[in-house]
Amino acid sequence: MLQRENVGSMNRRQFLRLGALALPAAAAGVDGHWIERTSLRVTKLELGRSLRFVHFSDFHHKGDTRYAAEMVAQINALKPEFVCFTGDIVEERRFADEALGFIRQINAPVYGAPGNHDYWSGISFDDCERAFAATGGGWLNNRNIALPNDWELLGIGGYSWRGLPEPRASRRIVLMHYPIQADQFSGLRFTLMLAGHSHGGQVRLPLIGAPIVPWGVGGYQLGHYDTPAGPLYVNAGIGTYRLPIRINCRPEITIVTV
Q: Which residues of 231-256 are buried (b: 16+ CB within 10 A; e: fewer)?
A: bbbbbbbbbbbeeeebbbbbbbbbbb
CA angle 161/103/221 to nearest 5° reads 45
| Residue 18 forms part of a structural domain | no
Task: Return the bridge partners of 102, or none.
Answer: none
Whether the predicted pLDDT of 180 surpasses 50: yes
Q: What is the mean pLDDT of residues 2-7?
A: 35
Greater pLDDT, 24 or 84: 84
| Residue 10 forms part of a structural domain | no
| Spatial distance between the Cα atoms of 139 and 87, rounded to a whole number of angstroms | 10
pLDDT at position 14 is 47
Q: What is the mean pLDDT of residues 148-153?
A: 97
| Residue 62 forms part of a structural domain | yes
pLDDT at position 35 is 67
- Structure letter (DSSP) for residue 22: H
pTM of the model: 0.88
| Residue 13 forms part of a structural domain | no
% of the chain exceeding 70 in pLDDT: 85
Greater pLDDT, 243 or 33: 243
pLDDT at position 5 is 37
Those residues with Cβ within 8 angstroms of residue 95's Cβ, 6 or more apart along the chain or in another chain: 61, 62, 63
| Residue 102 forms part of a structural domain | yes
Greater pLDDT, 29 or 209: 209
Whether the predicted pLDDT of 142 surpasses 50: yes
Greater pLDDT, 34 or 113: 113
SS3 assignment, position 255:
strand
φ, ψ for residue 184, nearest 5 deg: -100, -10
| Residue 108 forms part of a structural domain | yes
| Spatial distance between the Cα atoms of 101 and 132, rounded to a whole number of angstroms | 10
Whether the predicted pLDDT of 119 surpasses 50: yes
Domain count, the chain: 1
| Residue 22 forms part of a structural domain | no
Amino acid 75 reads I
pLDDT in tens, 122-139: 999 999 999 999 999 999
Angstrom distances, CA of residue 40 to CA of 36, 104, 227: 8, 20, 28
Give me the CATH number covering residue 240: 3.60.21.10
% of the chain exceeding 90 in pLDDT: 78
H or E segment to which residue 74 belongs: helix 65-78
pLDDT in tens, 188-230: 999 999 999 999 999 999 989 999 999 999 999 999 999 999 9
Residue 202: give the domain boundaries: 29-257
132 neighbors 110 (Cβ within 8 angstroms): yes
| Residue 106 forms part of a structural domain | yes
Q: How many other CB atoms are found less than 10 A from the CB of residue 165? A: 11
152 neighbors 172 (Cβ within 8 angstroms): yes
pLDDT in tens, 7-28: 333 444 544 454 444 444 443 4
The DSSP annotation for 101-162 comes to HHHHT-SS-EEE---HHHHHTT--HHHHHHHHHHTT-EE-SSEEEEETTTEEEEE--SS--T
pLDDT at position 28 is 40
pLDDT, mean over the chain = 88
